[in-house]
Structure 1
Amino acid sequence: MLAVIDNKYQVDLSKPIDISISLTNTDENPIAWYIEKPVIEPVIFGDWIGKVSEGKSSTNFNNIFFNPHGHGTHTECVGHITRDFYSINQSLKQFFFLAELVSIEPEIRGEDLVITKSQIEKALSTSTSLSVTSEAIIIRTLPNLESKKHLKYSNTNPPYLDETAARFIRESGIQHLLIDLPSVDKEYDAGRLLAHKAFWNVTNVNDLNADARLDCTITEMVFVASEVKDGSYLLNLQIASFENDASPSKPVLYKIL
């Protein structure tokens, strides 16, 4: 089924490219931020167990305990770093965006691996095939190993986005930033969160400035298969309706024809 965007671009809605990581209660689940794996288990009332295979229930009736930031693909709003409460469910009101997928090998900087402004700038200048400014960017880091879907990131100092790169993305008019890392910021950064603040244009988390970008989002821990080529896509950014700073999410790409 074909859809037309802005009376100019076509996408085939029958060929979605899911770039989310599924959430499981197994050791295959990726984990960040020093927590344990998710828990998915049936509700128990006395001798009644909410699991059909146990023979005492006509339905499967599970509780799920997870953390959106640490257990897989998630989308967060400015409320992730502010004193006052902001909800992803209230911040994200549109769900389709023109997006650019770029692949970048982070640069070595001392003991860190860093995605720089010049890398983002170069990638965007060579990737885009659209005549309009993209609303979203998806950053795929290299090497692009399948193990990203199962990594235990805690205490590993993963690559991160330089503050100037995040500012450049903001100044380019991009509203939605997606990346295949557990955070756009360095794992241990003394709470500075420079890339988060630069992207959302936040100068004071205790008294939010008027020009902070309340309708912009960051999505972390995506996975884009290597066979998906860099270039322009239609992004469908799907979230669950949580009144929370972040929600598990399912970003889906459609190749622009």
Structure 2
Amino acid sequence: MIEIHITVDGCRYRVNADAVTDVSLPLDFHGGQPRHFGAPPASARPLRSNGFVGDTRAGGSCNCEVLTLIPHCNGTHTESVGHVISGATSVAALATEGLIPALLLSVPTRHAESCAESADPLPLPGDRLVTAAALREAAERAGNSPQAGLVIRTLPNDEGKRSRDYGAGDLPPYLSTEAADLIVSWGVRHLLVDLPSLDRTHDQGRLTGHRRFWGLSQTGVSTTVAERADATITEMIFVPDAVADGLYALSLQIAPFVTDAAPSRPLLFALEAT
């Protein structure tokens, strides 16, 4: 039997490999799936080439599908700073640590017009925000200090997140400017959210939350070096209600695509104090 122990904030923990939660969303290429920004669903079709058909139901010798997806819009994915600047910044080179100390927080969203926080561009009536105030309150309840990984579960935490088309109906919540700045001040390097984006769906192309998280100026797509170029953002996760807020070991498994975003499978391992 192999045991793994990690030390976090001077305390020693055993990583419980039998208590692991996969917070990625399964991407069903033939069924319901989450998507964003009006993108088409991820899809699959049999490979057809030189008389070969990759479908046993159509007489093929084996199944071989051609998959079409947009990582930023179809399912759980992890992004690098290359999402918002010019130049190749591959997400495959990031989050190479085996286990990352991570704090899971449940955060209620707030109506923008009823809180003292804002966003850029200014929120519109009906917008809901993940606020710095709510993050602070959740961290106090959890009783743990911020870690390199931060996992945000927004409330209410409905099962519809598993297959929602975020291009239809009400706009999803997003981070206030103050929340993005707080997360940076906490030293978070790997941010995971159950939202389709840190930013408002239609934000005039500003991507303020993304840019502040990566330490970029508010405008431009130049290859200027980001202050936090090693940081990652993971969007469209789902954390079941049964998983309690608190400290975990995060294994951030990213498909090795040499591009700015790729499908990912974040795993949260329970920790036991020793």
Specify the TM-score bucket, using the shorter chain as the normaliser: over 0.9
Give 1:95 deviation, angstroms. Answer: 4.0
Map residues 144-223 of structure 1 onto 2, 5 A cutoff.
144-155=157-168, 156-203=170-217, 204-210=219-225, 212-223=227-238
Aligned residue identity for 1:237: L
1:132-181 deviation digits (Å, cap 9, x = unpaired): x4111111111111111010101531100111111110111111110001
Deviation larger for 166-175 or 116-125: 116-125
Mapped partners of 1:218, 1:124: distance in 2:
19
Give 1:222 deviation, angstroms. Answer: 0.0
Q: Residues 211 and 240 (structure 1 numbering): CA distance in 2 closer, same or farther, change over 3 Å?
A: closer
Please say if residues 95 and 252 of structure 2, whose CA atoms lie closer than 8 Å, have aligned partners that are also in contact: no
SS at match of 2:178: helix
Map residues 105-120 of structure 1 onto 2, 5 A cutoff.
105-109=108-112, 110-120=125-135
How large is the Cα RMSD of the aligned pairs? Answer: 1.7
Mapped partners of 2:226, 2:75: distance in 1:
30
Q: Residues 50 and 205 (structure 1 numbering): CA distance in 2 closer, same or farther, change over 3 Å?
A: same
Unaligned runs of 5+ in 1: none
SS at match of 2:18: coil
SS at match of 1:8: strand
Partner of 1:90: 93
Map residues 58-77 of structure 1 onto 2, 5 A cutoff.
59-77=62-80
Matched, 1:36 2:40: yes
Partner of 1:51: 55
Mapped partners of 1:205, 1:95: distance in 2:
34
Partner of 1:3: 4
Mapped partners of 2:80, 2:102: distance in 1:
18
Q: Give the TM-score normalised by the residue count of structure 2.
A: 0.87
Aligned residue identity for 1:195: G
Unaligned runs of 5+ in 2: 113-124
Matched, 1:238 2:223: no
Q: Residues 54 and 44 (structure 1 numbering): CA distance in 2 closer, same or farther, change over 3 Å?
A: same
Deviation larger for 175-184 or 119-128: 119-128
Mapped partners of 2:78, 2:108: distance in 1:
23
Partner of 1:229: 244
SS at match of 2:238: coil
1:3-50 deviation digits (Å, cap 9, x = unpaired): 211381111112220000011123411111111111112111254311
Matched, 1:17 2:30: no
Aligned residue identity for 2:167: S
Give 1:121 deviation, angstroms. Answer: 1.6
Q: How many residues align?
A: 254
Please say if residues 27 and 37 of structure 1, whose CA atoms lie closer than 8 Å, have aligned partners that are also in contact: no
Aligned structure 1 segments of 4 or more residues deviating by more than 3 angstroms: 204-211
